[in-house]
Structure formats: structure tokens, C-alpha cells
Amino acid sequence: MFLLEKIFRMKLSTFLFFFCLLAYPQLSANLVLHIDANDSSSYDGSGTLINDLSSSSNNLRIVNDVTHVSDSDGYFSFNFGGRSDYLKLNSPPFNNLTDGTNYSILMLVDRSGSTNEQDLINYGRSTVSINGEFILTKKSNNRLRFWDYKSGYGFGNNNSSESYQSLSSNSFDHIAFVKSGTTGKFYFNGVLDRTIIASKNIVDYDGSYFYVGGDVRDSREWFDGKISSLRIYTDALSDDRVMGEYLTSQLKTEFLLNATSSGAICLHTGG
């Protein structure tokens, strides 16, 4: 009976996975970064190069001790140790994000128990200037904050630019930040959490600097936790699309775990 149940669950998750892909098709033309720890086309477990599965060639490189780890169910993620471990562009600049009016950042994140402030993404934070940057960070209260700056703040670096919900500890959250002009939206696991408003629309960032896992310029606020996947779109995704991305990620996870436990070959999906 257990074997039949396992076969049924695998077939059901396979059906739902492909149904979700059809119901919420990927905006491939507007996907400019996609890395996935569970896709060997993105990272096969060796070396320091992580391939971008989008068509934009924004490949990332591991710096120091970011490791590719698996949990007891065979689910992979990139583990950041909180000590100068980060990802950077393999070949700057960042491609195909020339207009920052609209974009969406989606991640599967599992934070550690630490309450330290930790940066998830730095974009445009150069060694000589703060003009043209955005930061997505986990605050000490484990809420998300997004701020950007060019000749003044757009979204401010204060609690008015924070999420209401906090990141979970020792479990993955699907988080999204969607920018549409001066409007920003935080989502947790597909559900809108908070809408924030910027004082101005910053659209021009320094694409030579893109980091995942800490404030590389000032060598601080290193991320301590796991990231399983990261996507960036040059669209302001709708509420339905964010929910669709979340459902797709959950069904893909279920499919991968069932396939792994049954000994089947895991599916690899690109951008």
C-alpha cells in the first residue's frame, strides 16, 4: 500500500507540476537572471561557476565558502556561512536591466537563527560611489527591507520600506519584491504582505556591481542561511503571477523530492 501511495503521489505531483507550468507560463523574454541549486544545468555541484538559466548570461561566481548542500530529502540549496561568503557576477556588467522602472525579484530563502542584519542582494553598490544602487536586506527583526538611492533615496532606508512579515527560521520562504515605478510590493509565499511607496522613481543602476549574500563594498552584513533559487524579471509581476511562481516552485519541489525518493530522474527546467 505504501508503494502504491508513493507512485500515486509522484504521478499526481508530476501532473500538477506540468499543469502549473502551462497555467503560469514563464515570461522567458523578461527573465534576466535565474539560478537554481536543484538544476544541474545551473550548478552541477563542482567548481565556482553558477550558470544563469535565462538567456541574459548573467552567470554568477562563488566567492569563498558558499557551498552546495542537500537536506535529508535530497533538496539542494546554496549555503552562505555568514563570513565573507557571497556570489558575484562572473563577467560584469549585469545584462538587460537597463531600465529599473519595473522589475521583480523572487527567491527561495531559509534564514539561520541569527538576528543580525544581513544583505540578500546588493546591486550597483560600487567601491567609489553609492549613486545608483538598490539593496534587499534582512533586518535584525528578520523582516525584509528594500531601499534604493541615486542623488537621494527612492525607497527610503527606514522601517517604512520594510515588510510586515518576518522570514522563517529553518524553513524555506518564497519571497518576492516587485517594483513598479514608485510602488513596491513584498510577498511571502505568494501572498501580498505590504505595499510601500518611494519618494521618486530610480531607474538607473550601476550594473558593474551585483552581489548575493552581503555588503561586499563595506565587508559586512553577510548572509547566514540558504538560497535555493533566485529569479529576476524586468516586469512588475501581477499578484496572480507571483502566486503562480510560488505554486510552481512548490510543485517543482514536491516533484523533485518524490522523484528522488523513488529513484527516478529529476527534471531540469531552464528559463
For the stretch 149-184, pLDDT in tens is 999 999 999 999 999 999 998 899 999 999 999 999
| Rounded Cα distance, 152 and 181, in Å | 16
Q: What is the pLDDT of residue 259?
A: 55
Q: pLDDT per residue over 101-142, tens digit each?
A: 999 999 999 998 788 999 999 999 988 877 899 999 999 999
* Counted domains in the chain: 1
Q: What is the pLDDT of residue 49?
A: 98
| Rounded Cα distance, 88 and 235, in Å | 23
269 falls within a domain: no
pTM: 0.86
Residue 100's nearest CA partner among 184, 193, 11 is 184
271 falls within a domain: no
216: buried, middle or exposed (CB in 10 Å: 19+, 13-18, 0-12)?
A: buried
Q: Answer for the pair 132, 121: CB distance below 8 angstroms, yes or no.
A: no
| Rounded Cα distance, 71 and 271, in Å | 25
245 falls within a domain: yes
What is the identity of the amino acid at 192?
L
Those residues with Cβ within 8 angstroms of residue 64's Cβ, 6 or more apart along the chain or in another chain: 83, 84, 85, 86
What does the CA dihedral 225, 77, 206, 270 come to, rounded to 10 degrees? -160
What are the cell numbers at 118?
544581513
Q: What is the pLDDT of residue 240?
A: 95
Q: What is the pLDDT of residue 179?
A: 98
Integer angstrom CA distances of residue 139 from 74, 117, 158: 30, 4, 10
| Domain that includes residue 130, residue range | 2-262
Q: E strands along the chain, which residues?
A: 31-36, 49-50, 60-63, 67-70, 76-81, 86-89, 102-111, 118-123, 133-138, 143-149, 162-166, 173-180, 183-188, 191-197, 210-212, 224-233
Which CATH number covers residue 172?
2.60.120.200
Q: What is the pLDDT of residue 118?
A: 96
| Rounded Cα distance, 204 and 189, in Å | 29
268 falls within a domain: no
Beta-carbon neighbour count of residue 46 at 10 Å? 7
83 falls within a domain: yes
Q: What is the pLDDT of residue 87?
A: 98
Those residues of the chain that have pLDDT short of 50 are 1-17, 19, 21-23, 26, 264-271
